[in-house]
A and B are shown apart, each in its own frame.
Chain A
Amino acid sequence: MARIAAFLALMLMAGPAAADDISPDRAVRLEHLVLQDCGSCHGLTRKGGLGSPLTREALGGADPHAIAGIILDGLPGTAMPPWRPLLTETEALWIANYLLEEPAK
């Protein structure tokens, strides 16, 4: 959580990205990515594994831009990889909002 707070400061200048630019098609594929490929470290149910839990409760209302920042740049020195080579900022923000809103399955 401390990390997320620290990230906030950085992200303030980034400005809001519109997550609704994601097509329904792309949204389906992003959800699949979260469940399956984030899931290989964070668990299919997002309850954690090698990576920390990513449930709504665990993220506790963190700023979506801060979460998107972690997704894009990873957490250096840990096993959390940077997804910037594979995801756009809009997509990362969509995932962040998904994690914050969608109950774990």
Chain B
Amino acid sequence: MTLIAPLSRRVVVGLAATAMLALAAAPVRAETPCCATGDLGLIVERATGSLVVVDQSERAAIGRIEGLGDLSHASLVYSPDERYAFVFGRDGGLTKVDILAQTVVKRVVQAGNSIGGAISDDGRLVAVSNYEPGGVRVFDTDTLDMVADIPTGSKTVGLVDAPGRRFVFSLWDAGETWIADLSGPMPKITKLTGIGTNPYDGLITGDGRTYIAGLFGEDGLVRIDLWAEEPEPRRILPHYGRGREKLPVYKMPHLEGWALAGDQFVLPAVGQHEVLWMDARDFREVARTPTHGQPVFAMARPGGRQVWVNFAHPLNDTIQVIDSQSHEIVHELKPGPAVLHMEFTARGTEVWVSVRDADRVDVYDAATFEKLGEIAAKSPSGIFFTARAHKIGL
């Protein structure tokens, strides 16, 4: 029932509003949708190739969109009007879905094996990074027609959008970062070589200035100042392992644009059970916090006061909350088996947590840690709220 109720209530409210408008003799468009999408979101159901449409204010599911193929390791981005989502599936599928109509608008299988994507700052282009064939392919967001093919000869990761219709991504096998400028008639590619061994993911800061790639094959990360005349890779947090033996990594960490907590970056170490704190101005290490396991996501609550961290298999039933000022763990939660992802509401009041093996998404109050609700979802992974539409790098 919860599936229908919030929506139909909206329809009623919407109808009343429409009636009033009609009375006021304003032009009424019959097809005007009943509701806005600003507090909606999508949850990836990784095993069934479907998405649950959720309403943040109602803390409820309002529908399901099916037929999206293999969504293990899927992510998605939103159109600027927050109506459409572009979903990147593992099987190379790129699917455009309409959140209001809860339908698949168009689907293309653009490669054999892909890992993620990004939407250009103007909302016109969507780019997908592929393992097989290695590279990036760029599509028109209206038609999903391919407009550019950028083969890299390498598994391609860490794809983000940068201001000026650019995309930045890294080459796992080759240890390079490429900047693709699509503002002109032909893509212009700048290749930065020798950035480090096996970059596994990348992020761009909300101001569009700094691209950071994590390295799997080396102790350290690399940053690139995209405001520089000639951007160059610079090593950051070198030797954070301090010669200690690397612990096995059963799941690759992720870097996302939520890494800035006030004036510090918070980043997962690889092969050490730690998160690393780095001064956002001079890129020096300021602290490290020992954690429960190999961190996967370290997500700053909007505002940056705390950071929520989840962990790799087999320690993935736990979340730790770290204070960004003291760098101490202030709270620990055990939501259930296989916590895969966390998403904050736009202003950081709530955090939604996917608990894959419990087939559930939990909603927590981000300030009191009180559990506010649960939503059933089959094998849920990524949670994406529409507010991402207006953030660089998301």
A and B: real partners? yes
Beta-carbon contacts of B39-76 to A below 8 Å, as 1s and 0s? 00000001100000000000000000000001011000
Q: A44 touching B248 by the CB < 8 A rule?
A: no
Pick out which of these stretches binds chain B: A3-11, A17-25, A79-87.
Answer: A79-87
Report B43 CB to chain A, min CB distance, Å.
17
Could you tell me the dominant secondary structure of chain B's interface residues? loop
Report the separation of the CA atoms of residues A45 and B115 in the bound assembly, to the nearest whole angstrom: 14
Q: A81 touching B131 by the CB < 8 A rule?
A: no
> Is A90 interfacial (CB 8 A cutoff)?
no
Report the separation of the CA atoms of residues A71 and B198 in the bound assembly, to the nearest whole angstrom: 21
Pick out which of these stretches binds chain A: B249-257, B347-355, B359-367.
Answer: B249-257
Partner of B113, one of A36, A49, A82, A86: A49
Q: B72 touching A37 by the CB < 8 A rule?
A: no
Q: Assuming A43-B90, A44-B47, A45-B70, is B113 touching A37 (CB within 8 A)?
A: no
Q: A39 touching B72 by the CB < 8 A rule?
A: yes
> Is A56 interfacial (CB 8 A cutoff)?
no
Beta-carbon contacts of B290-325 to A below 8 Å, as 1s and 0s? 000000000000000000000001100000000000
> Is A27 interfacial (CB 8 A cutoff)?
no
> Is B356 interfacial (CB 8 A cutoff)?
yes
Beta-carbon contacts of B92-130 to A below 8 Å, as 1s and 0s? 000000000000000000000101000000000000000
A82: nearest residue on chain B (CB-CB)? B248
Q: A79 touching B249 by the CB < 8 A rule?
A: yes
Q: Which of B6-49 contact A (CB under 8 A)?
A: 46-47
Q: B46 touching A44 by the CB < 8 A rule?
A: yes
Q: B113 touching A48 by the CB < 8 A rule?
A: yes
> Is B132 interfacial (CB 8 A cutoff)?
yes
Report the separation of the CA atoms of residues A37 and B313 in the bound assembly, to the nearest whole angstrom: 7
Q: A36 touching B131 by the CB < 8 A rule?
A: no
B314: nearest residue on chain A (CB-CB)? A86
Q: B72 touching A81 by the CB < 8 A rule?
A: no
Q: Contact size class for A?
A: 20 to 34
A48: nearest residue on chain B (CB-CB)? B113
B216: nearest residue on chain A (CB-CB)? A79
Beta-carbon contacts of B151-187 to A below 8 Å, as 1s and 0s? 0000100000000000000001000000000000000
Q: B47 touching A50 by the CB < 8 A rule?
A: no
> Is A41 interfacial (CB 8 A cutoff)?
yes
Q: A47 touching B248 by the CB < 8 A rule?
A: no
Partner of B131, one of A32, A44, A49: A49
Total of A-B residue pairs, C-beta within 8 Å: 62
Q: A47 touching B46 by the CB < 8 A rule?
A: no
Q: A50 touching B248 by the CB < 8 A rule?
A: no
Report A42 CB to chain B, min CB distance, Å.
10
Report the separation of the CA atoms of residues A27 and B131 in the bound assembly, to the nearest whole angstrom: 31
Report B246 CB to chain A, min CB distance, Å.
10
> Is B389 interfacial (CB 8 A cutoff)?
no
Which residues from chain B contact A43 at a C-beta distance below 8 Å?
70, 72-73, 90, 113
Q: Assuming A36-B356, A79-B216, is B252 touching A44 (CB within 8 A)?
A: no
A39: nearest residue on chain B (CB-CB)? B72
Q: Which of A64-87 contact B (CB under 8 A)?
A: 74, 79, 81-83, 85-86
Q: A41 touching B248 by the CB < 8 A rule?
A: no
Q: A40 touching B155 by the CB < 8 A rule?
A: no
Report B251 CB to chain A, min CB distance, Å.
5
Partner of A50, one of B250, B252, B356, B357: B252
Partner of A44, one of B90, B132, B198: B90
> Is B278 interfacial (CB 8 A cutoff)?
no
Question: Can you spell out 9 A-B residue pairs with CB atoms less than 8 angstroms apart?
Answer: A43-B90, A44-B90, A45-B72, A45-B91, A49-B90, A49-B113, A49-B115, A74-B248, A79-B198
Residues of chain A whose beta carbon lies under 8 Å from any beta carbon of chain B: 32, 35-37, 39-41, 43-45, 47-50, 74, 79, 81-83, 85-86
Residues of chain B whose beta carbon lies under 8 Å from any beta carbon of chain A: 46-47, 70, 72-73, 90-91, 113, 115, 131-132, 155, 172, 198, 200, 216, 248-252, 313-314, 338, 356-357, 379
